[in-house]
Structure 1
Amino acid sequence: MPPDLTFRSARVSEREALEALQWRASLNNPGDREALLAHPDAIHIPPDQLAGGLVFVAESGGAIVGFAALVSRSDGDSELDALFVEPGLWRRGYGKALLLHCAQAARDRGSAALHVVGNRHAEAFYRSCGFELVGAAETRFGSGLLMRMRL
């Protein structure tokens, strides 16, 4: 884990800052850029999701370096609904540390697995974190990968 990295639940008042971080990260990914520019409404963190305590912020040196969100599934498992890290900090372990924090939070909530619908460009990252490919899903922006990490 990167030094001095801490996690906490996001505050409702941080919604705009987190959405701005999501924009920076998403636009820095060529696989997402065109679709997001065509559909800017896709970047929106519901205030009730923030108020529910399942949006987690990663901080380093007193600054937000990333965030992730969990949602409950009807089968009792959890789904990773968001995972974004400041683009200048990619490939330094922040994303994996944030994902593992979410996995622990899901485990603490009684989930047997953590699920994610990922893009092809994120497959290697999720596999390196312990996810396995279990299928495909159609999303608003095309086909995505259904992946699962057993907890």
Structure 2
Amino acid sequence: MTVGIRTARAEDRETLGALKLRSSLAWGDHVEALQALPEASEVPAEHVPHVAVAEIAGKIVGFVTVLPGNSAAQAELEDLFVAPEAWRRGIGSLLLAEAERSAIALGARSLEVVAGERARPFYQASGFRFAGIVATLLAPAIRLRKDLP
């Protein structure tokens, strides 16, 4: 299995939105709310230049979005989704490493993410630390931060 990473293209938006929703629904949490929430199945056009896509044999199996943060020293990991059928194959870790490279390229010294409880162990195993609790449309979530080299 060779995973390729590339920059997203405008024509990927529909595929990325569908993957985002499918991945979110796979846990079985907040199903009705997610299905009713337009943001749960959309990748905004202005985010596309900041999206890295993971592909296997030309098929998109995951993506990550890194946006400039509130300060020049901080970047925000906006989305990281892997298709459920590709879970537990290291794709999330590859995308997270790409996110860190993207944040460093933006000049950031830290990368932050808002994550639910299910994603928290993944990020903490990659060096992210608790930075606070935030309200989201679905439930309270955790803000995590990782210092970058």
Give TM-score, length-normalised by structure 1.
Answer: 0.91
Question: Would you say the 8 A contact 1:115–1:149 is kept in 2?
Answer: yes
Determine whether 1:139 maps to 2:136: yes
After TM superposition, give the deviation of residue 32 of structure 1 in Å: 4.0
Between Structure 1 and Structure 2, how many residues are aligned? 147
Q: How many angstroms apart in 2 are the aligned matches of 1:41 and 1:82?
A: 11
2:17 aligns with 19
Give TM-score, length-normalised by structure 2.
Answer: 0.92
2:50 aligns with 54
Runs of at least 4 residues of structure 1 off by over 6 A? none
- Structure 2 alignment gaps of length 5 or more: none
Q: Secondary structure at the match of 2:88?
A: coil
Question: Would you say the 8 A contact 2:68–2:106 is kept in 1?
Answer: no
2:84 aligns with 87
Question: Would you say the 8 A contact 1:119–1:145 is kept in 2?
Answer: yes
2:29 aligns with 31
Question: Would you say the 8 A contact 1:22–1:43 is kept in 2?
Answer: yes
1:47 aligned partner, one-letter code: A
Q: How many angstroms apart in 1 are the aligned matches of 2:9 and 2:143?
A: 29
Determine whether 1:70 maps to 2:66: yes
The alignment-based identity, stated in percent, is 37
Q: Secondary structure at the match of 1:127?
A: helix
Question: Would you say the 8 A contact 1:31–1:121 is kept in 2?
Answer: no
- Structure 1 alignment gaps of length 5 or more: none
2:123 aligns with 126
After TM superposition, give the deviation of residue 81 of structure 1 in Å: 0.5
2:6 aligned partner, one-letter code: R
After TM superposition, give the deviation of residue 74 of structure 1 in Å: 2.0
Larger deviation, residues 31-40 vs 65-74: 31-40
Q: How many angstroms apart in 2 are the aligned matches of 1:96 and 1:33?
A: 26
1:97 aligned partner, one-letter code: L
Q: How many angstroms apart in 1 are the aligned matches of 2:127 and 2:110?
A: 11
| 1:45 alignment partner, one of 43, 46, 49 | 43
Q: How many angstroms apart in 2 are the aligned matches of 1:101 and 1:48?
A: 19
Q: How many angstroms apart in 1 are the aligned matches of 2:37 and 2:100?
A: 29
